[in-house]
Structure 1
Amino acid sequence: MSDAAKPWDAALVRQWLESRFDAAKLDQAAADRRGYDAQDDYDKAAAEEWVCRTLKADLCVNDQAALAARVKQLIAQDEYRMTGIYDDVRFERNVRGTLRKIAKMTKSNSGFDNRLRYQ
């Protein structure tokens, strides 16, 4: 059962990043309306929004190896700047988690076709 490797589809990756960016914005708004109890959810959505905004504006999306290198570089970054979050440590942990998820997806070149709001 040898499956031929799929070619890198930059347009699909951009669509995925855009849909995750939009979903993160909606999740932030929903968490904001729920108030204090949803601060974790807000920070998680803000982290995903930050990652998607950072990557979708970058030209590295055009090449699988370049995207993998950029994600690795972002994971190694010491801190991530964003205003309006509740807990910096939680936000940074969620950013790194989202980046690790994208790194796995990039390495296997799979998962970018799943554009459902809740993943």
Structure 2
Amino acid sequence: MTDPLKPWDGEQVRIWLERRFEASRLDQAAADRRGHEARDDYDKAAAEEWVCRALRHGDCTQEQAAFAGRLKELIGQDEYPATSIHDDIRFERHVRSHLRKLAKMTKVNEGFGKTLHYQ
């Protein structure tokens, strides 16, 4: 059984964010090469990159409560400015989806050890 009181590891969260950032960049490049039919994949990868970029720098990863607060702040934003995306509405929907996923991971403090490219 897993230990439900596992301590928060800010370094592991930063590593996870860095790896997801790099994976999203690779996913964007792959979708861009596939062309028009991969626009949704491109926007989804761009949204993940935006989320990781917004969270990976700064001190918010040091403590679980600070990270959760930053996520709540980002979820509450009205818009997420980005360039070179195909559909603003779809992009914002994907950003919110990634933020909610991270909020759930933060709440239960699980999933940050999974650093493989595909999740």
Does TM, normalized by the shorter one, top 0.5?
A: yes
| Corresponding position of 1:29 | 29
| Corresponding position of 1:75 | 75
What is the correspondence of 1:1-119 to structure 2 with a 5 Å cutoff? Answer: 3-119=3-119
Give the TM-score normalised by the residue count of structure 1.
0.97
The 3 A distance-change label for structure 1 pair 60 and 33 is: same
What residue ranges of structure 2 are gaps of 5+ in the alignment?
none
Q: Which has the higher helix share?
A: 1
The 3 A distance-change label for structure 1 pair 81 and 3 is: same
Query: Residue 33 of structure 2: SS of its match in structure 1?
Result: helix
RMSD of Structure 2 on Structure 1 (CA): 1.2
Counterpart Cα distance in 2 of 1:79 and 1:51: 13
Shift of 1:59: 1.2
1:88 is matched by which residue type in structure 2? D
What residue ranges of structure 1 are gaps of 5+ in the alignment?
none
1:7-55 superposed Cα distances (whole Å, 9 cap, x missing partner):
1100000000000000000000000000000000000000000000110
> How many percent of aligned residue pairs carry the same amino acid?
65
1:96 is matched by which residue type in structure 2? R
Tell me how many residue pairs correspond in the alignment: 119
Query: Residue 62 of structure 1: SS of its match in structure 2?
Result: coil
